[in-house]
Structure 1
């Protein structure tokens, strides 16, 4: 492995580890000696990488380090472009714009030959089967998720029955034929799935969740791991999770 490739690989390994990782572990993953690893760490630090630690203690990469002109493999470029094309086809306009801006930033720092490979990737995404039909702003949902703020929701189920709910938004799923909000519903005392095209009105409240969203997301995933239909498998309204309390 060339030294430039090895330095990039070292950065990727450090990014994967959220906590301090020993020099022996890093050297083992890269297949290099511990002395070579120390030299590579020093080289990255000299280039501006905020790597903290020392021999015998371990190392951690602090967030915020920007790489110089990027190098990607063919497979990585294909994955980037395929992901962007999927977002462009299935996400709402603000997310698509954000993806376009991110792709432009990546493209701007790529060497010319890699930029050409990125733009000529042959992996395509099929057509979307529905058109956007939401009357609410999905950006408000994403903001509430990030800020862990409650939402007041007016919702119509599959037969048109209306309801008013206070929910704690946990995740927003994008599918080929719908978009689905995962949320804890105060009135149902359980996780429910709300199709965004059936939302009639939405307001973000000042009140925050009493629990951390990350913990709730983990709990919902564990609930979904049980035997049940996938989200969106039936055209219902809010679909109760398998282990959640259920009531009319």
Structure 2
């Protein structure tokens, strides 16, 4: 069972308001008690009103419960762009609500983010930096679809001629996997660290060793 599915299953179990032992939930979900403890900490950190403690049991009383949603990457991008705008454009209650909502979304995203950098700090990554990276996503996505070579100017003013292959989302941080002609190798570039995107003439074709499937292999 995926972690996101397990977290939702735990919410379904807890929302009846009754006390549930970690041992029973672990048995029902086929995981260890330690995993249940970690999941309880994750739910609490994400704003789910979990009550209880280890060795006694847990319950939850949510004021509003939404059904599970399946979002496309574009919908997720739009959602976080809106949260970024609210988080930076207003003060007080709405700003705090934007931050906690974004943390809840991050907490239930799938775990299978191959090679996710540990230093990104998903739950505390600044909204302003996230919004800064959104401005290039349309150009990057279009280049991936059209197999268009790009010249990227990075924040350190270095230039990279790249073949964009894939966009990934890491919790308010978007990255682009590229084959970099400048360094002659694969690279994962953060969208918020790209200053300028320039479309180069000509399209790229699949070449052995430079394709997405070669990186995955």
TM-score normalised per structure 2: 0.43
TM-score normalised per structure 1: 0.38
Comparing both chains, which one has the higher relative contact order based on Cα–Cα distances under 8 Å and sequence gaps of 6 or more? 2
